[in-house]
Amino acid sequence: MKHFLMACALALPMLAHAGGVDRLKAFIAGARTAEADFTQTVADRSGRVTQEASGTMAFARPGKFRWDYRAPYEQVIVGDGEKLWLYDVDLEQVSVKPLGEVVAGTPAALLAGDDAIEKYFTLRDAGQGGGLEWLEATPKTRDTTFERIRMGFKGDVLVQMELFDFFGQRTTLKLSNLARNPAIAPSRFRFVPPKGADIIGE
């Protein structure tokens, strides 16, 4: 889970016939902000589920995002446009680093990045499956946790992401109650370390 959190700690992407790529481009063009609930599972190379989590996410393009993990433990990931913050509530520990290229090749760039998605990803339509229209995004940089990312759309709504890392693990994110272009207070994307928390990296 940790590698996923730090990578996400949450990025975006040849146009053929109408399909998943078109769905993504339409989604990006039409959603300057969004928020949703999510469930996350991580499966190992054999398909055995090793981790499960859930929470809420939000983004404001370009460059701002927030993931709040509620269960089974609390963690907060915030990208404020300049820095990436990761707060582990149980450990009372905050990690911070420049946002920059940290999110390149990650889901955060796909969702909250700018419109130049091909700068970071090679995109291709991946057909239909499970009632969804899929695309596959392959990061152009090798300095990333993920080998490839799949995104599944139902109509023009993003409902699922699958992230494959170089260790054979697959992280599945399922989104629900997605709201596009809600009014989100700017303070949602600011992070102030709690008093007493250990701060690493700043």
Q: What is the CATH number of the domain that holds 94?
A: 2.50.20.10
In a domain, residue 152? The reply is yes
Number of folded domains that form the chain: 1
In a domain, residue 197? The reply is no
In a domain, residue 15? The reply is yes
Q: Are 55 and 38 contacting, i.e. CB atoms less than 8 angstroms apart?
A: yes
Nearest Cα neighbor of 157 from 35, 32, 23, 63 is 23
Q: To the nearest 5 percent, what fractions of the chain are helix, strand and coil? A: 15, 50, 35
β-pairing, 121-129 vs 93-98, is unpaired
In a domain, residue 107? The reply is yes
In a domain, residue 125? The reply is yes
* pTM score: 0.82
Determine the Cα angle at 147 with ends 142 and 148, to 5°.
120
In a domain, residue 202? The reply is no
In a domain, residue 178? The reply is yes
In a domain, residue 200? The reply is no
pLDDT (tens place) for every residue of the chain, 202 residues total? 444 443 444 333 333 335 888 888 888 888 899 999 999 999 999 999 999 999 999 999 888 999 999 989 899 999 998 998 999 999 999 999 888 766 666 777 677 766 667 777 889 999 999 999 999 999 887 767 788 999 999 988 899 999 999 899 999 999 999 999 999 999 999 999 999 999 998 6
